[in-house]
Amino acid sequence: MISNFRKNKSDSGTENIKSLNLPKHIAIIMDGNGRWAKKRNLPRIAGHKAGVEALRDVIKTCSNIGISYLTLFAFSTENWKRPTQEVNALMELLVIYLRKEVSELHRNDVIIKVIGDISKLPETAITEINKATEMTSNNSGLTVNIALNYGGRSEILLGVEKIAKKILNNELKLQDINESVFSNFLYTKGIPDPDLIIRTSGELRISNFLIWQAAYSELWFTDIYWPDFKGKHLIKAIKDYQKRKRRFGGI
């Protein structure tokens, strides 16, 4: 279980992080669970279970140092292509995680939100998601966005569809559409674009994750498999981010 987030700050080196120029929003592609398990001659689901342990430490670290938003790529629209047994195990793990952790997250003022089309998830998963988001909705600390059945392209297409319906119903004029308006038709409405996107496991791509929102995100890649990724690695990524100059197309 996640204990008091404010204890043992030195464990992750958070006492050395600069409070200025912190990324407001960090997004993580949690990759490498299967390879972590294979390396140890374990079933893939063992890697996913180990990944939950990494998640605890990362959430705790983000909360400690004052990150406002953490978005986690948990299950993509493409992940349905995986073996049925693995998909079912992942859904069961999601339910177990929420049941076990939501009360502690709530006590630590964490807000849980979900982005993606959860209607296609099992009913038990939808129930636990709704309980978690409702329980934490009035909190004011770290917002954890869990991307479930999420894909960047499908998100954009859905946004276009919503805008088209508004135009057809004379609720929106074509000339009024701009980037800001379009962003309001995405799952991430009201959430700032990620400042920093992290991907574990050595893969060097964003894999259909927040492709609209990532236009000016700083990218940080590591060879570490997700189950081995800890708060100290997150701090390393943030320190690297703080050395960069973000010009957004300017000089």
Phi, psi angles (nearest 5°) of residue 80: -65, -15
* Nearest-angstrom CA–CA distance, 98 and 177: 38
* Nearest-angstrom CA–CA distance, 31 and 73: 9
Whether 144 and 113 have beta carbons less than 8 Å apart is answered as yes
The residues carrying an active-site annotation are 31, 79
* Nearest-angstrom CA–CA distance, 234 and 67: 11
Q: Which of 119, 115, 177, 176 is nearest to 143 (CA)?
A: 115
* Nearest-angstrom CA–CA distance, 239 and 26: 13
In this structure, the strands spanning 196-199 and 143-150 are unpaired
Whether 219 and 206 have beta carbons less than 8 Å apart is answered as yes
Residue 23: strand, helix, or coil: coil
Whether 1 and 100 have beta carbons less than 8 Å apart is answered as yes
* Nearest-angstrom CA–CA distance, 220 and 84: 32
User: Would you say the C-alpha torsion 188, 116, 206, 105 has a positive or negative sign?
Assistant: positive
